[in-house]
Structure 1
Amino acid sequence: MFYTGKGDNGTTSTFGSCDQRISKSSAVTEALGTLDEVNSFLGVVKMHTRAREMFVSGTEGTLFELVDAVQQNLFIVQAEVAGADKHIEEGKVVEIETLINAIEADLPPIKSFFVSGGTELTALVDFARTLSRRAERRVVAVTEEADTARGESPERVQKISKYTLAYLNRLSSLLYAIARQVNHKSGITEEQPHY
């Protein structure tokens, strides 16, 4: 069934809500919605990479495969935020850092900010980067809400693992590196802002 009508009063339930309804404006609901936005938009990015067999520096995989792997990891993050006993493992953080370092090694050094764009794919990846940064902020808000609520209602205290927070922090860096790599491989000179 695509609807239940239970949310018509502005509440919802999640995996970890113990059959309790929570406000649709809660930090948990906001984080889940924002994670869903970035994950869905990465689906758009992924479809734009399908026609291009672009390989990612430091891997034997394509950009399509990398974006798909990130989407799968975001489902783990969403499950954790919803209260499931799922977490991003340290190895996923190391993996993303290794990718960032490999891509960065193939690019000219960063000397300033760059105007988003260059190619359509670059613009899409840049937009996904901004969504991922917002998702990170929303998940941090869940952690802060949990820290504030300690001792009040333990069944609703939502602690997010340090590796999940680190993964989200690195994700925007990875997407920035990918956007730069797409421009570089497309022969696009990055445009600096005119201050």
Structure 2
Amino acid sequence: MIRIDRVATRTGDDGTTSLGDGSRTSKDGLRIEALGAVDEANAEVGVLRTLLHADDSVSAFLGRIQNGLFDIGGDLCLPGEAGDRFRIDGRLLASLDDAVAEMSANQPPLDSFVLPGGSAGAAQAHVVRTVVRRAERRVVALAAAEPVNPFVLRTLNRLSDYAFVLSRHLNDDGRSDVLWTRASS
């Protein structure tokens, strides 16, 4: 188990931080950028959960996603690639695929782009989508330099798809979506 006795350790005052293996690295390094972006995504999912308190099934799944994002952080905090210690595997990915398919089946096809908006929950789901995409870009940059669990990228990619489909679900399965029109129109 994890035990945190002190939050303010002052060891990061020099611009470095500890990784899961105890090594120190710069706070602006690729690995820390990826970890930070995943942490931001987790926080945004938490905001979405607070907006959806009445929808227990979606909120419960978002809780599973939050735990999965924490597991992704656990994978990213350790340099190198050691398959026996990976925390994230194909299970969350498969659940995201299933959820996307289930929600999409109730939504009409799109003939326009969708703008963030409609309900507060849908707008926040779009924020989740964009922050997850940023996390994905940071992990791609890290993976170009060092080995990364391949399920991390696949899960982040699918999570952004899920957030988009969820936004439509929260807008009455797309019937209340805010559709894009040319600004010059």
Q: TM-score range by the shorter chain?
A: 0.7 to 0.9
Cα offset for 1:33?
A: 0.8
Which residue identity does 2:145 align to in structure 1? Answer: E
User: How many pairs align?
Assistant: 173
In structure 1, how many angstroms separate the alpha carbons of the residues matched to 2:156 and 2:106?
A: 23
Cα offset for 1:189?
A: 4.2
If the length of structure 1 is used for normalisation, what is the TM-score?
0.83
- Equivalent residues of 1:87, 1:164 under 8 A apart: no
If the length of structure 2 is used for normalisation, what is the TM-score?
0.87
Which residue identity does 2:140 align to in structure 1? Answer: V
Q: What are the equivalent positions in structure 2 for 1:57-96 lying under 5 Å apart?
A: 62-83=57-78, 85-96=85-96
Cα offset for 1:87?
A: 3.2
In structure 1, how many angstroms separate the alpha carbons of the residues matched to 2:133 and 2:151?
A: 16
Which residue identity does 1:178 align to in structure 2? Answer: L
CA 1:87/1:193 → structure 2, altered by over 3 Å: closer, same or farther?
farther
Query: What RMSD, in angstroms, separates the aligned Cα atoms of the two structures?
Result: 1.7
Tell me which residue corresponds to 1:191: 179
1:123-180 CA distances to partner (integer Å, 9 max, x unpaired)? 111101100000111111111111xxxxxxxxxxxx2222221111100000000001
Cα offset for 1:187?
A: 5.2
Cα offset for 1:112?
A: 2.0
Q: What are the equivalent positions in structure 2 for 1:6-155 lying under 5 Å apart?
A: 6-16=11-21, 19-50=22-53, 52-53=54-55, 62-83=57-78, 85-146=85-146
Tell me which residue corresponds to 1:177: 165
Q: Secondary structure at the match of 2:166?
A: helix
Cα offset for 1:194?
A: 2.2
Tell me which residue corresponds to 2:3: none
Which of 2, 7, 32 aligns to 2:7? It is: 2
- Equivalent residues of 2:168, 2:174 under 8 A apart: no
Question: Could you list the runs of 5+ residues in structure 2 that have no partner in the other structure?
Answer: 1-5, 80-84
Cα offset for 1:185?
A: 4.9
- Equivalent residues of 1:11, 1:23 under 8 A apart: yes
1:18-68 CA distances to partner (integer Å, 9 max, x unpaired)? x32100000011111111111011111101111x236xxxxxxx1111110
- Equivalent residues of 1:87, 1:161 under 8 A apart: no
- Equivalent residues of 2:112, 2:179 under 8 A apart: no
Tell me which residue corresponds to 2:82: none
- Equivalent residues of 2:20, 2:77 under 8 A apart: yes
In structure 2, how many angstroms separate the alpha carbons of the residues matched to 1:164 and 1:2?
A: 27
- Equivalent residues of 2:96, 2:162 under 8 A apart: yes
Question: Could you list the runs of 5+ residues in structure 1 that have no partner in the other structure?
Answer: 55-61, 147-158
